[in-house]
Chains A and B, each alone.
Chain A
Amino acid sequence: MDLTLSTRTQGDRTIVEVGGEIDVYTAPKLRERLVDLVTAGNYHLIVDMEGVEFLDSTGLGVLVGGLKRVRAHDGSLRLVCTQERILKIFRITGLTKVFPIHSTVEEAVEAVD
């Protein structure tokens, strides 16, 4: 199962829908997408992880890297995730305190800091 990415905008938010497996092999593709978006001036990102079947620490590293990039432009990176097995990895690493995690894209779009 490869990684699938689709991007759309809603107002000033850019939503990246991720599907499949994010691991040491596929994570560079996600990293590249996030870097491209920020380079193109998209600083409010929402990463929709509902279609993600597997996430490892390479993926976490890429998300933290993305957060770092948008914060450098006073932006935001929000996650949409309700899958327990994915949320567990954020909890184990303490990253639930670093990322705002929402249950729906709508909730993430409406959220303000």
Chain B
Amino acid sequence: MESVEIEFTALPAHVRTARLVASAVARQCGVDEAVLDEVRLAVGEACSRAVELHAREAPDRPVMVIFADAPGRFTVAIRDRLPVASAQAVAASAAAATARGDARLSDQPGEPKGASGQAVAASAAAVTAGGDARPSDQPGEPNLGRSSAEEPDETEIRLAVLTGLVDDLEIEPLETGTEIRMSWPASGRLRTGARPLIPR
């Protein structure tokens, strides 16, 4: 298995670099061109989430991203390095958001997949309507309706986008932070070892 790893200071300016590397490596691994936008967005969301969490908790620690070509799959792992206690709390809420998304996948194309997307819309509607409706009062819904916030909580929107976008998504709490793993089908046809350099 070949891999590319990048580590960057947790600053918004570097998220674009991570997206560019994601596109380049995905293309190299033979990910379909039509899926590259999705890869770019998903990697960007996961990295932005890590950067925002680091800014609050651990600005000096870098974010790590590992791209690899498993057989038939292009895999990406994004690791934040938060202190254990906050990492566990974040991972727990992230896992809960993912579970909700998975449990209520919509088969209709064009419809928001799962509850998280609808919760974002409901929250946005509530926010713009003046904040009387409180979607967050419903148990099990992401707490997007913090009406004191100028914008809906971006970390929650990010998870909504990720769960709606990526079919194969896992969020795992590690001892040293959280790891978000995603993968997409890949032909592997452009792997450096996949074919001889000189055609026979």
Q: Which residues of A approach B to under 8 Å, CB–CB?
A: 21, 23-25, 54, 56-58, 60-62, 64-65, 67-68, 71, 85, 89, 91-95, 97-98
Contact = CB atoms under 8 A, between A and B. Distances in A.
Q: Report whether over half of chain A's contact residues are helix, strand or loop; otherwise say mixed.
A: helix
Contacts of A56: 41, 44-45, 48, 158, 161
Closest 3 interchain pairs by CB? A94-B121, A92-B164, A25-B12
A97 B125 contact: yes
For chain B, which range describes its interface: under 10, 10 to 19, 20 to 34, or 35 or more residues?
35 or more
A93 B16 contact: no
Interface in B1-60: 12-13, 15-16, 19, 37, 40-41, 44-45, 48, 51-52
A57 B1 CA distance: 32
Q: Report whether over half of chain B's contact residues are helix, strand or loop; otherwise say mixed.
A: helix
A24 B48 contact: yes
B62 interface: no
Contacts of B81: none
B12 A95 contact: no
B161 to A, nearest CB: 5
Interface of B: 12-13, 15-16, 19, 37, 40-41, 44-45, 48, 51-52, 110-113, 117-122, 124-125, 127-130, 150-152, 154, 157-158, 160-161, 164-165
